Amino acid sequence: MNNTQIIALVVILLYMTLTVIIGLLVKHNQDKKSKMKSNDDFLMASKSIGPFVLAGTLFAANTGGASTTGVASNVFFYGLSSAWYVIAAGVAFVLVSFIAPYFRRAAANTVPQIINMRYGKSSHIFTAITSISALFMATGVQIIATATIINVVTGFSFQLAAIISTVVIIIYTMVGGYKAVTSVNLLHVIMITVGMTIALFIMLNNNAVGGISALFAKAEQMKASDGTPMNLTSMIKIGFPVIFGYVIMLSMTFPTGQEIVQTYCSAKDGKSAKVGSIIAGLLSAVYAIVPAMVGLIAYVCIDGYIDQYQSNALAQATLTFTPPVIAGLVLSSIVAATMSSASGNMIGTATMFTNDIFTPYINNGMKDDKKEIWISRIAMVVVGLVGLIIALVSKNIIFIMMGAFALRSAGPFAAFICGIFYKNVTERGGFISIVMGTVVAAIWIYGFGTPWGISAIVPGGAVAFICIFVVSIIDRKMGATALPPIDFGKE
């Protein structure tokens, strides 16, 4: 390793150490306050999160590997318009803010539990299985992104870097629970937004880059191997169908994604959930251009980079065009993003497994906080290990993430929305809708290869809505009665 790599590595290791220390301190404070800690306290932070902490947790949970290293790398295909992946998330957070209070008011901690309130056991089990499977995939994405950075900085093999990343994430998540995650997320948000933005300005002022005007001038001259212009500075190269698909996909996946829903459910009240979601949306939309600009610098200013897609564009640009300490800080911010998302996935999986599988079907509906906490911790280790396996066998971040989003949301979204706002839905209508939406999404991805770049959530969600209305109408004509509405209570 050269001097820059050594200094960057030291900074990253110090940051990882800090996250583990925070987890230990939070656990100590929890144990000091109460000898008998509940699983609700461990997994849901006692439902006490205010709007600003909630906004930071939402932003950090969503700003993971796909939103940082994935966006920077995809500049090769889409230019600066690759930023739309994160801008769309900002739009989605604002849209979802209008239903966010329902999550807080529901007497539930998971998406499958809310589905169960209206549609019964079959829909509950199916949604729990698909949701947990999706979080395995999403955890693998974050491990890939973290390991890629360690691989670039240290020269360690990707496999060893992935193992190190997984161990650190498991330790600080498992030790402190959701309070540790939310506490560390505040640090993550600062590192992600401030650290990467400062680094971007330093990169732009590097002599090899020459400022934003020179960068754009060079980018506009870039041509593909066949001689056609690459349009790297375009904000619409990705195409309006893909932009629309991103907005629809994220607007559907946030209300059905456990790591996001769990944050809403952990708010101290409905207003905090709504305001926090709006703040997270605005922050995401503003931040989106940062990783895209870093990716542009990599492809334009590093010799030979423009010849092919580069999965480590963000990390390599940082090491090349910033001082060692700044490189360490910005790479720590990427590690922060991926670790926060991975920890949210682990917590979400543990919550769903204990609430939707262990307690109702293995422990015969009996609540046992001590047992559930240990089951939750075991589940965190399992999802970390499965995520590690996924990371070792596949490194295509965007493909894995899009698949995870589609499989967990295409089916349940229609059932969730109709469960809140449609009084004439039937149990069979809900179940068929969930299954058919999921099947269509899977075929769209793995059978058709995601044609036109449109997320599988769009056709899957459309089929799910058609099914729930058509089947419910047929059921009622055949004499079935509509299901009673969910009681969301009052603030």
Q: For residues 297-317, give the mean pLDDT.
A: 90
Predicted confidence (pLDDT) at residue 300 exceeds the cutoff of 90: yes
Q: What angle do CA 178, 71, 265 make, to 5 degrees?
A: 25
CB 75 within 8 A of CB 309: no
Q: How many CA atoms lie within 13 A of 169 on its CB side?
A: 35
Burial class (CB in 10 A: 0-12, 13-18, 19+), 449: exposed
- pLDDT score at 45: 46
164-168: long-range contacts (C-beta < 8 A, 24 or more apart)? 165/338, 165/339, 166/384, 166/385, 166/387, 166/388, 166/391, 168/16, 168/19, 168/20, 168/339
Distance CA 339, CA 172 (A): 10
Q: How many residues are present in the chain?
A: 491
Q: For residues 382-400, give the mean pLDDT.
A: 84
Query: If you write DSSP's letter for every residue of 206-240 in order, what string do you get?
Result: STTT-HHHHHHHHHHH-B-TTS-B--TT-SSTT-H
- pLDDT score at 43: 44
Owner of token pair 């693998």: 140
Per-residue pLDDT tens for 210-247?
999 999 999 999 988 778 899 999 999 999 888 988 89
CB 62 within 8 A of CB 380: no
Predicted confidence (pLDDT) at residue 360 exceeds the cutoff of 80: yes
Domains of the chain: 3-399 (1.20.1730.10), 410-491 (no CATH)
Predicted confidence (pLDDT) at residue 387 exceeds the cutoff of 60: yes
Burial class (CB in 10 A: 0-12, 13-18, 19+), 52: middle
Distance CA 249, CA 263 (A): 19
CB 169 within 8 A of CB 346: yes
pTM score above 0.85: no
CA distances (Å), 418 to each of 114, 235, 301, in order?
12, 35, 51
Distance CA 96, CA 303 (A): 43
Q: For residues 177-195, give the mean pLDDT.
A: 70
CB 84 within 8 A of CB 358: no
Per-residue pLDDT tens for 110-137?
778 888 888 988 999 999 899 888 889 9
Per-residue pLDDT tens for 73-117?
999 999 999 999 999 999 999 999 998 887 767 666 677 888 888
Query: H/E element holding 303?
Result: none
What's the token pair of residue 487? 């009681």
CA distances (Å), 83 to each of 86, 109, 284, 369, in order?
6, 32, 10, 43
The amino acid at 219: A
Distance CA 22, CA 336 (A): 13
